[in-house]
């Protein structure tokens, strides 16, 4: 037993994906790979395979509060990672939980759609995240289609979306994986005006849980004390390797291999 040399604990508030490709399982695997311990609080259950989601159920707010409060009372939380919240009420519930964790880095992955396109929450949930959670988040990590919904700019470029969203959040990472250009460009926008681009080669295929992997790895890097730009680069490089080594066990998308 080692009480004095424990790995940093990251509280994950995300949905469960029974295919194991995305959601809390992705969070747990990506955090273990960073040398962190994941404390998974379930916000929602989903029905899905690696092709798409067919249904979901958001848990009662009391259940989510009880899970999170039990963990917070026991474990030293070094960072928080948000994934699927599923309802506007859950956005408010998370805000209540964060009041118990002042100063703890918060990574907000504004999940609204599954990889196959099925909904995991109405656009209103995204707007509530933008209004209520972005201001308390350390960083938000939308992909470009999510950023376009959040910025209410259906055809906006990453730069245009960032201009609209940066007043809400301190740091914004807009990922470019959903386009079809040969080179994927991921852009980090910081409120101090600095911008950083991270490019990588596009890999063939589509992946289930890539956004969850990235946001979780990033929360782990921040929990370990890495600075923002370095943490983003490390998390992007890690995610790229997981996608390069992905497996196709089913009939749908590839599942990242999060070693």
User: Which residues bind to ligand PLP, rule: CB under 6 A?
Assistant: 14-15, 17, 22-23, 46, 48, 53, 83-84, 111, 114-115, 120, 208-212
Taking the complex as a whole, the smallest distance from the CB of residue 83 to ligand PLP amounts, in Å, to 5
Locate tokens 């600095």: which residue? 194
Closest residue to bound ligand PLP by CB = 15
Query: Which pair of tokens denotes residue 191?
Result: 């409120």
Measured in whole angstroms, the distance separating CA 135 from the mean position of its chain's CA atoms is: 16
Cβ burial 43-56 (10 Å sphere, 16+ → b, else e): bbbbebbbbebeeb
Which residues, in sequence order, are CB contacts of 198 under 8 Å at separation 6+?
185, 186, 187, 188, 232, 233, 236
Taking the complex as a whole, the smallest distance from the CB of residue 210 to ligand PLP amounts, in Å, to 5
Cβ proximity to ligand PLP: between 190 and 206 the closer is 206
What count of residues does the chain have?
259
Taking the complex as a whole, the smallest distance from the CB of residue 13 to ligand PLP amounts, in Å, to 11
Cβ proximity to ligand PLP: between 7 and 257 the closer is 257
Taking the complex as a whole, the smallest distance from the CB of residue 96 to ligand PLP amounts, in Å, to 21
Taking the complex as a whole, the smallest distance from the CB of residue 33 to ligand PLP amounts, in Å, to 15
Strand locations in the chain (E): 9-16, 37-48, 53-58, 77-82, 106-108, 139-140, 171-174, 183-190, 195-201
Cβ proximity to ligand PLP: between 40 and 211 the closer is 211
Cβ proximity to ligand PLP: between 8 and 211 the closer is 211
């Amino acid at each position: 037993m080692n009480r004095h040399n424990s790995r940093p604990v990251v509280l994950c508030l995300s949905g469960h994906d029974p295919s194991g490709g995305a959601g809390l399982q992705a969070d747990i695997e990506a955090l273990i790979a960073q040398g962190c311990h994941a404390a998974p609080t379930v916000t929602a259950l989903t029905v899905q395979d690696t092709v798409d989601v067919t249904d979901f159920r958001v848990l009662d707010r009391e259940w989510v509060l009880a899970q999170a409060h039990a963990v917070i009372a026991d474990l030293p939380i070094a960072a928080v990672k948000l994934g699927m919240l599923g309802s506007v009420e859950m956005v408010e519930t998370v805000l209540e939980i964060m009041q118990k964790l002042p100063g703890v880095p918060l990574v907000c992955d504004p999940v609204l759609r599954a990889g196959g396109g099925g909904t995991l929450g109405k656009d209103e949930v995204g707007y509530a995240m933008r209004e209520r959670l972005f201001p308390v988040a350390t960083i938000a990590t939308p992909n470009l289609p999510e950023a376009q919904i959040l910025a209410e700019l259906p055809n906006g470029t990453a730069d245009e979306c960032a201009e609209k969203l940066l007043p809400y959040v301190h740091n914004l990472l807009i990922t470019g994986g959903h386009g079809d250009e040969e080179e994927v460009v991921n852009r980090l926008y910081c409120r101090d005006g600095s911008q950083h681009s991270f490019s990588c080669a596009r890999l063939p295929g589509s992946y289930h849980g890539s956004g969850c992997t990235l946001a979780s790895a990033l929360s782990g890097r921040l929990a370990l004390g890495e600075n923002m730009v370095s943490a983003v680069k490390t998390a992007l490089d890690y995610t790229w390797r997981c996608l390069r080594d992905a497996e196709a066990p089913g009939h749908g998308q590839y599942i990242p291999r999060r070693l």
